[in-house]
Amino acid sequence: MKEVNASIITIGDELLIGQTIDTNSAFIGTELNKIGIWVKKRIAIGDVKEDILEALTEQSKTSQVIIITGGLGPTADDITKPALCTYFDSNLILNEEALQNVKDIFTRLNRPIIDRNLKQAEVPHNCTVLINTRGTAPGMWFQKEGVVYISLPGVPHEMKGLIETSVLPKLKESFELPPILHKTLLLAGKGESEMAELLTPFEAALPTHIKLAYLPSYGMIRLRLTGKSDNKAQLEEELTKLFNQLKDMVKEWMVIDEDLPIEQAVSKILKSRGKTLGTAESCTGGKIAHLITTHSGSSQFFIGTVVSYANEVKTDILDVQEDILNAYGAVSEETVSQMAIGAKKVLKTDYVIATSGIMGPEGGTAEKPVGTVWIAIAGPQGVKASKHHFRFDRKRNIDLASVTALNLLRKYLQAEELN
């Protein structure tokens, strides 16, 4: 079975200057991979017609599917449709179905329609229109010399709706797609280089249609096995066998044998035990709570947080003793331990994560330099506190401290199970 490759082209000056972060490509790449289409390239270009035409020409040489997002709005800098007209030797016409969709949306919003809005329903005459029920700019499907081109709005919510309801089903009808399977696990406590050295013999012995990828992030590593084959059942069996071998080799550092972040790995344990969690966050400023509550179902175990940034909050709400603060400071084992105990009492939870540190770039001392963080876990087995040093900028220090704290809770829970 022939492999189907794709290119993703994101359009907009805002992407190039960093004003907008491109989350569209990540979503599209994930969804294409699920149905067996391999993303070969991702390209960001500005609102320049010539650049759009050049990108389409170049990507059509190696990809059978090209997905474009952005540049379909009602303003003068949205030039994707004129560029598509040039590329496909077309002219704009008013599409009645797209026009009715625009009218329906404005009727629901009880807002007047102006000519600029109505022009959203104009499309190249030789495209297949993909109705965008979440917005006024329709998607467009073209075919030229064996390549499928799909133009989608850049608004993530609208793009996702079109991908799920129109693009994926139509792609599955248009191509005979080979299966692409992944198996992923999460590790902590081992560096990428050390892990690669350990796994060199395993990686060298892999068959050519199965690859191992290292995906490091914030003190953790995801290991992903990816396999491609025409025979899905055989590939699944082969990949499972290799994945079990991999797990056995890295069991000392394995967090979870699923493609889940650390907060979800911890969530699974707490849910399975019917236990509750709260946080008392100073230096992490609620980041741990945010990571947890990003995922649906967190209300089953997560009770809440106290962001005790000021010492007054530590003393008045978490019952940290003033003489402890005066003697040891806010960034200390004694303070963070009392924060954890106080939060457990206030929030009435089974477990608490507490953090206190200096994230920088200011505030450090010779005794407690920037990046010094104390983390405490309180639970049925008492309080365990540990000191950590992070060496990056403020944002990354906060991210690393948050992930480290969640992993310490996982270890605390794991130790309970062994006792």
Reported as a single tens digit per residue, the pLDDT across 186-235 is 999 999 999 999 999 999 999 999 999 999 988 899 999 999 998 999 99
Rounded to whole angstroms, the Cα distance separating 8 from 245 reads: 35
Boundary (domain end) residue, out of 223, 256, 289:
256
Rounded to whole angstroms, the Cα distance separating 249 from 196 reads: 12
* Residue 386 and residue 325 share a domain: yes
pLDDT confidence of residue 42: 97
* pLDDT band with cut points at 50, 70 and 90 for residue 62: very high
Q: C-alpha distances in angstroms, 134 versus 8, 32, 79, 156, 157?
A: 21, 21, 21, 10, 7
pLDDT confidence of residue 297: 96
Neighbours of 206 (CB within 10 A): 15
Instruction: Provide the CATH number for the domain around residue 228.
Output: 3.30.70.2860
* pLDDT band with cut points at 50, 70 and 90 for residue 376: very high
pLDDT confidence of residue 137: 93
Least confident of 214-218, 271-275, 397-401: 214-218
* Residue 23 and residue 61 share a domain: yes
**Tens digits of per-residue pLDDT, 301-326?**
999 999 999 999 999 999 999 999 99
Boundary (domain end) residue, out of 221, 237, 256:
256
Average pLDDT over residues 95-117: 91
* Residue 130 and residue 102 share a domain: yes
Among residues 247, 227, 246, the alpha carbon closest in space to that of 238 is found at: 227
* Residue 199 and residue 285 share a domain: no
pLDDT confidence of residue 243: 98
Average pLDDT over residues 352-364: 96
pLDDT confidence of residue 417: 85
Range of the domain at 23: 4-174
pLDDT confidence of residue 2: 79
pLDDT confidence of residue 78: 80
* Residue 132 and residue 218 share a domain: no
pLDDT confidence of residue 48: 93
* Residue 136 and residue 191 share a domain: no
pLDDT at 10 over 70: yes
* Residue 392 and residue 296 share a domain: yes
Q: Kindly tell me the burial class for residue 224, based on how many C-beta atoms sit within 10 Å of its own C-beta (0-12, 13-18, 19 or more).
A: middle
Rounded to whole angstroms, the Cα distance separating 395 from 360 reads: 9
pLDDT at 52 over 90: yes
Rounded to whole angstroms, the Cα distance separating 295 from 379 reads: 23
- Name the DSSP class of 274: T
pLDDT confidence of residue 1: 62
Average pLDDT over residues 118-136: 95
* Residue 169 and residue 187 share a domain: no
Q: Which residues are within 8 A (CB) of 166 and not within 5 positions of it... i.e. 6 or more apart? A: 130, 131, 139
pLDDT at 76 over 80: no
Instruction: Provide the CATH number for the domain around residue 359.
Output: 3.90.950.20
Average pLDDT over residues 154-168: 97
pLDDT at 36 over 80: yes
CA atoms within 13 A on the CB side of 38: 15
* Residue 312 and residue 327 share a domain: yes
Instruction: Provide the CATH number for the domain around residue 137.
Output: 3.40.980.10
* Residue 397 and residue 266 share a domain: yes
* Residue 115 and residue 42 share a domain: yes
Residue found under tokens 């990428």: 192
Quote the number of domains for the chain. Answer: 3
pLDDT confidence of residue 292: 98
Q: Which residues are within 8 A (CB) of 272 and not within 5 positions of it... i.e. 6 or more apart? A: none
Q: What three-state secondary structure class fits 160?
A: helix
* Residue 64 and residue 134 share a domain: yes
What mean pLDDT is reported for the chain? 95
pLDDT at 73 over 90: no
Alpha carbon 402 to chain centroid, angstroms: 16
Boundary (domain end) residue, out of 232, 256, 280:
256
pLDDT confidence of residue 117: 86
